[in-house]
Structure 1
Amino acid sequence: MKILVFGGTRFFGKKLVTRLLADGHDVTIATRGKTTDDFGDAVKRVKMNRESREALFCLAQEQWDVVYDNICFSPQDALYSIAAFRDKVGKYVYTSSLSVYRMRDRALVEADFDPFHYEIVTGSREDFDYGEGKRLAEAVFFQKANFPVVAVRFPIVLGEDDYTGRLEFHINHVQAGEEIGMPNEEAEMGFISSDEAADFLCWVGTKSDIMGPINAASDSVYRLSELMGLIEEAAGKTAIVEEITEDNDDSPFGVEKTYYLDNAKAREAGFEFQDLHKWLPKLVESVIMKKK
C-alpha cells in the first residue's frame, strides 16, 4: 500500500511507521522536519506545515491508499484535508481522543459522542480547547468527507518514549517528596501503551474494514490510588497526594470522576488488547530504573 503519515517521527507515530515498513508498505512521512528519524532511505519525507492548505494540496497530487493523520487538532485542519484529498485516498485514519467525551463516571462507548450530528463551528487550533478541537474535527470528517474515515479515540498514551513526561511527572514528584494534586484518588482511568497504539493504528488502517469512531484502550483500568501505590512500591518512597496544590503540582491524571473507554467494539472486530495490569507495572519499573 502507498501510505502517507502526518506525524511519524516520534512517540506512537514513529512506531506506526516502523510497523508499516515491516509490513512492506510504501511510506511517506509529512512533518515540520524538526525531529530527526532513523528510517534512512526506507521512507520518503515531506517537510510541511500541517495547517497549510497549499501544502496539503501539493501532497494530494498523488493517490494514497491510506492517510494517517496524527496531528489534526481543529475543524479548519480537517476541512483542508477534505478539500485536498477528495477522491485521492482509500481510507483516512484520524487520531482522535478520549477528550471528545464530556461524560464521566462510567465506561464510555462510541455512541456517547455523535460526530455525525454535532454542530460544526469553523476555526483554527487556537480557537478551541483540545477536546472541542477534536470533536469538531471529527464532525467535519464524518459530515463532509467523500472518502472513508475512521476516527481512533485513544486515552492517555504512555511509553518510555512519551515526550510529554506525564508518567515521569508522578515518579519525579514521588522521588523528590513533592506534593501531587489529585482531586479524586478513587477515580478510575484507562491507558494504552505507545506500542499498542501503533499496533492498533496499523491494524485499523491496513488490516481492518472498520469505519467511523472506534475506541482503542488497553483492557482493565487503574484507580488513581492504585497507580500511585504502584509508583510508591517501585520507587521505594511514599507519595504525598493532596486534593488541592499549586498548579505546577497538579497531576496530568487528576480527574474528578472516573474517565475511561469501553473497547468492546474494537475487540469484537478482532483486535486483541493487552491487559493494563501487565504492561504498566513494567513501564513504571523501567522508567525508574533509567533514573538511577
Structure 2
Amino acid sequence: MKNICVIGGSRYFGKLLVRRLLAAGHRVTVINRGSAAPPAGAEHLVADRNDEAALTAALGSHTFDVVVDQICYTPVQAAVAARVFARRTRRYVMTSTIEVYDPATAALPALPPGTPVPEENVDPATWPVVTDLPWHDEAHLEAHYAEGKRQAEAVLTRADGFEFAAVRSAHVLGGGAQEFTGRLSYYTDRIAAGEEFAVHANLLPTVFIHHEELADLLRWAAEADFTGPVNACSDGPLDVHELASAVAAQSGGEPVPRVVAAGEEASPFSFDRHYAMSNARAKELGFSFSRTTDWLPAAVAEALAAAPASTR
C-alpha cells in the first residue's frame, strides 16, 4: 500500500485513476479547488495549486510516497509544486501530452516519415525554461499549451527532493458525455447528420488511448519506479478517414470530408504533420496496451448515445 496524492482528479480519467488507486488498497488524498468531491474513501484537501502559500497550508504535515499531478500546464505551476513537495514525496508523476512532439510548436529533431516518435525527441533535462512569460494569461496558455507542458516537465525533471516521471498521453477518447474535449462527438454528430468536416489533402495518422486505459497506465506509473518521460498510446495509429469510417459503421451515416488548402485549419485529428508516438518504452517497462480498433467501436457508441436526441 502506498500513500498517494492526486492533484486534480475530479473528472474524466482523473476520477477513474482515484477509484483504481483506492480499489488497489492505496491511501489516496485528492487536492483540488473544491469544485468536486473525490470518490468515497479518498481524503479531500481544498487548495488552489497556483497559490503556493495556500497549498502549503492545506498540506500541513502530510507526506506521500507518490504525487500524481493531473493539472500541471506551465513551468510556473511546476516550480510551485517542486518547492512545496520537495520534502513531502519520494516520487512525482506528471500527466503530460502528445502535443510536446508537435513540430509546429517547436524546433524538434526530424525523423524519417512514419517513424513513431520516441521519448528522447523531447528531452526535459535539456529543454529551456522561461518562467517570465505570461503563463497566467489564459490566452497565452492556450496558444502555447505544448510549450507549457514541455517546460513544466523540464522544471520537475531538474527539481531536487523527488524522482520524476512524465506520462505523455495520446489523444484520449471514450466516456460518452464525460469526454470533455468533445472531439469524438464532433465526428459522431456530423457523420450521423450527413454534415461535412474539414481534412487536409495529405493526411497523416495519429495515436489514441481510451480513457480507462490511461487511468490504468497512470495507476501503473504511480506504483512503478521508472523515471523520465513515457509515451501512452494504444497500438494502431489511425488517420481521420479511418476514424470517420469507424464512426460511420456505428451511426449509419456517411462521412462527408471536405479537403482544405495547405495552411487552412482542419477538423480535430486531421494532421498534415507527423508526431504519432512510439509506446515501446512503456512496453519494455512492463505495461501492455490494447489496440485502438478493439475499443473504438464502443467509444463511438457511447458518444452516439450521449448525443442530444435532435442530432441522432
Separation (CA, whole Å) in 1 of partners of 2:239 and 2:285: 28
Structure 1's 256 and 145: CA in aligned 2 closer, same or farther, altered over 3 A?
farther
Separation (CA, whole Å) in 2 of partners of 1:272 and 1:3: 23
Q: Given the two structures, how large is their TM-score scaled by the length of structure 1?
A: 0.92
Separation (CA, whole Å) in 2 of partners of 1:210 and 1:157: 23
Separation (CA, whole Å) in 2 of partners of 1:169 and 1:69: 28
2:15 aligned partner: 14
| Counterpart contact for 2:206–2:237, Cα < 8 Å | yes
The answer as to 2:151 corresponding to 1:136 is yes
Q: Which structure 1 segments of 5+ residues have no match?
A: none
| Counterpart contact for 1:184–1:257, Cα < 8 Å | no
Query: What does 1:117-266 align with in structure 2 at a 5 Å threshold?
Result: 117-122=126-131, 123=133, 124-126=135-137, 127-128=140-141, 129-160=144-175, 161-184=178-201, 186-206=203-223, 208-244=224-260, 250-266=266-282
Q: Deviations over 1:126-150 (max 9, x none)?
A: 3441101001101111123331000
2:108 aligned partner: none
| Counterpart contact for 2:172–2:211, Cα < 8 Å | yes
Separation (CA, whole Å) in 2 of partners of 1:78 and 1:221: 31
Structure 1's 57 and 170: CA in aligned 2 closer, same or farther, altered over 3 A?
same
Instruction: State the Cα RMSD in Å.
Output: 1.9
Query: What does 1:40-189 align with in structure 2 at a 5 Å threshold?
Result: 40=40, 42-58=41-57, 59=59, 61-103=61-103, 105=113, 106-122=115-131, 123=133, 124-126=135-137, 127-128=140-141, 129-160=144-175, 161-184=178-201, 186-189=203-206
Alpha-carbon distance, 1:51 to partner: 1.2
| Counterpart contact for 1:115–1:138, Cα < 8 Å | yes
Greater shift, 4-13 or 126-135, is seen at 126-135
Separation (CA, whole Å) in 1 of partners of 2:37 and 2:256: 38
Alpha-carbon distance, 1:223 to partner: 2.1
Aligned length: 286
Alpha-carbon distance, 1:163 to partner: 1.4
Alpha-carbon distance, 1:50 to partner: 1.8
Structure 1's 231 and 268: CA in aligned 2 closer, same or farther, altered over 3 A?
same
Separation (CA, whole Å) in 2 of partners of 1:20 and 1:213: 21
Separation (CA, whole Å) in 1 of partners of 2:271 and 2:156: 29
Alpha-carbon distance, 1:281 to partner: 1.8
- Paired AA for residue 117 in structure 2: L
Q: Given the two structures, how large is their TM-score scaled by the length of structure 2?
A: 0.86
Separation (CA, whole Å) in 1 of partners of 2:70 and 2:220: 15
Greater shift, 43-52 or 272-281, is seen at 43-52
The percentage of counterpart residues that share the same residue type is: 35
| Counterpart contact for 2:200–2:260, Cα < 8 Å | yes
Q: Deviations over 1:124-179 (max 9, x none)?
A: 24344110100110111112333100000001111112112110011111122222
Alpha-carbon distance, 1:239 to partner: 1.6
